[in-house]
Amino acid sequence: MIPARGGSRGLPRKNVRLLGGRPLIRHVVEACLQVVPAGQIIVVTDDDEIDAIATETSARVMREEQTTGKATLDDVAAKVLPLLRTLGSAEDDIFLTVQPTCPLIKSDRITQAVRKFRDGAGSVVTVVDDRHLGWQIDDAGAPTPDYAARVNRQMLPPQYRETGAVIGCRIRDLAAQGTRIIEPIHLIEVSKQEALDIDTFADWVVAEYFIGRRDIVIRADAGKKLGMGHVFRALALAQEFAQHRVRIVTEKAEAIAFGLLSQSPFDVVQVDGNSGFLAWLQDNPADLVILDQLDTDVPYVRAIKAHCHRVVTFEDLGEGAMEADLVVSDLYKNLNVPDARQLSGLSNAILAPNFETITGAAPFRETVENILVLFGGTDPSQLTEKTLAALRDVDYGGQCTVVIGPGFGRPLALDDYGLKGTIHQNLKFMPAVMRSADLAVSSAGRTITELVSLGVPVLCMCQNSKELTHTHASARFGVVSIGMGSLAGPGTIAAHIQTLIDTPDLRRLLRERGLHETAGRSNKAIVSRMLERLDF
């Protein structure tokens, strides 16, 4: 039985309002239809519109006179008994009431309720664990604690609250005792999501949030050769999609990626290569899959699309990009993908979440007092050491700040180069370190975007041939590039550093260009553009 009155003071037309594109009452009717035939579902209502909606689902409808709303559900259930008997019900049949105002209840819970009677239940009641530090008012009107000790909520004993979603008994017991609560009572614990009972507009907003949640899968790897950038971007994307169910999938063989991801609040899954990912995805279909694996091929992307609604791929110059629903890259453009299915350029650079909250650019100083050296998580070309050697060669006497990532496994000491400063590894808050720099030396990855967005001029050396294609590593964006770092001699690096130190006007120009090109960029805006392009 689904009792659904037409009147509702707190939320007008509540039972017929569209939630997720469907009338509220349809959600529970459709959940029940997954358990029992339509002929065993009875919607009790006093409203023509609810009658019409229920009839569309093939559920039975029992009309009652318009009520004041003061009748209990036990009273309504008793009125249904004669109809049940005319339909051929047996006294031993199970009678469940399911509230239409609990639209998030799952069909599995209804099935679970039925099974409880096979275990000897006299009645079943859905409940949610609502433990908290409570208070009562004694006979004298004084507040008294309803707990033995003040401890964290998780340490309190369970305290169950009825959700009203499902209450059940056998027909014979309802007829004999006039109540649906019959000993022995079996409780069915549900999640807070399933426990939601819509009574106010605030409840409705929460329901819309849950109904709108999607399954998002982000595939990203990291390693000494691949670097850490893809994993850091995966975490930034996960942060933007945090209102949804987010799972990050990474390569099992690369422990460095899992070590970093496991520190996040998101679910992390390890797989054996792309074949392992496809096998996992088959059992865990998603609404959206985001690939941050560089170039993909057609069979791989097609196989993914068989288990999800949309595929987005980042920095993909492979043929698989043409199969994706959207390609995103701030570093270069895929000329084989139509502009309608592509977001490119620096305005589409996803940065670490803490760059979203930092305000204000780095202050400009005429003299260079602090040089920042950072070459990603692993620095396979040992450009950190080459830069420190160049700073030694120009007799740099200011502060030197070096940032190395979790994959940097080599010993490093500034004293070996006659330099003073600090070496940071696994830095938690990069923006503060970047804002203190007058000049940075870095590779051509996303770190450049982070630096120029704060107004820090950059001298760039590429780690690999792919970085040579990155369009943001140019003077237009506040960057001086000297090409492939492995091919740059000590004299070349030293000469460029000396020029930047000695030419404040050049550094000021680079600063202004970087700030201009990144003005208005935000992760939130990028994700909004993605979803708009995907019609998601």
**Amino acid found at 519:** A
- Answer for the pair 529, 349: CB distance below 8 angstroms, yes or no: no
Q: What's the pLDDT score for residue 70?
A: 67
Cα radius of gyration rounded to whole Å, the chain: 31
Neighbours of 36 (CB within 10 A): 15
Q: 44 with 129, same domain?
A: yes
pLDDT of residue 467: 87
In this structure, are 368 and 510 located in the same domain? yes
pLDDT at 287: 97
Instruction: Give Cβ neighbours of residue 416 (< 8 Å, ≥ 6 apart).
Output: none
Q: Which of 210, 230, 253 is the last residue of a domain?
A: 210
Q: How far apart are CA 24 and CA 11, in angstroms?
A: 12
Containing structural domain, residue 132? 2-210
Burial status of residue 11 (CB atoms within 10 A of its CB: 0-12, 13-18, 19 or more):
middle
pTM: 0.78
CATH number of 137's domain: 3.90.550.10
Cα–Cα distance measured from residue 323 to residue 312, given in angstroms and rounded to the nearest whole number: 10
Cα 454 from chain centroid (whole Å): 26
Pair (98, 226) in one structural domain: no
Q: pLDDT at position 68, please?
A: 56
The token pair that represents 277 in the structure block: 């990912």
Residue with tokens 């209840």: 105
- What's the CA gap between 390 and 181, in Å, rounded? 81
- The residues that bridge with 510 in the sheet, in sequence order, are none
Give me the CATH number covering residue 315: 3.40.50.11190
Q: Given 190, 210, 230, which residue is the final one in a domain? A: 210
pLDDT of residue 69: 60
Domain boundary, last residue among 210, 230, 263: 210
Q: For residues 395 and 468, state if they share a domain.
A: yes
**How many Cα atoms are found within 13 Å in the side-chain-facing hemisphere of 238?**
23
- 475 in the same domain as 332: no
**Do 195 and 236 share a domain, yes or no?**
no
Q: Answer whether 156's CB lies under 8 Å from 132's CB.
A: yes
Are 139 and 183 in the same domain? yes
* Tally of structural domains, the chain: 3
Domain match, 340 and 222 both: yes
Closest residue by Cα to residue 443 from 494, 403, 396 = 403
CATH number at residue 414: 3.40.50.2000
If asked whether residues 342 and 362 sit together in one domain, one would say no
* Same-domain check for residues 228 and 322: yes
- pLDDT tens, residue order, the chain (536 aa): 999 998 888 899 999 999 999 999 999 999 999 999 999 999 999 999 999 999 999 999 999 876 656 678 888 888 889 988 988 889 999 999 999 999 999 999 999 999 999 999 999 999 999 999 999 999 999 999 998 899 998 899 999 999 999 999 999 999 999 999 999 999 999 999 999 999 999 999 999 999 999 999 999 988 766 777 888 899 999 999 999 999 999 999 887 788 888 888 999 999 999 999 999 999 999 999 999 999 999 999 999 999 999 999 999 999 999 999 999 998 888 999 999 999 998 899 999 888 888 878 889 999 999 999 999 767 888 999 999 999 999 999 999 999 998 778 788 999 999 999 999 987 888 899 999 999 999 999 889 999 999 999 999 999 888 888 888 889 999 999 999 999 998 899 999 999 999 999 999 999 999 999 999 899 999 999 999 999 98
DSSP one-letter code for 223: B
Q: What percent of the chain has pLDDT over 90?
A: 76
Query: What is the pLDDT at residue 409?
Result: 79
**Which residue type is seen at 346?**
L
237 and 182 in a common domain: no
Are residue 227 and residue 112 in the same domain, yes or no?
no
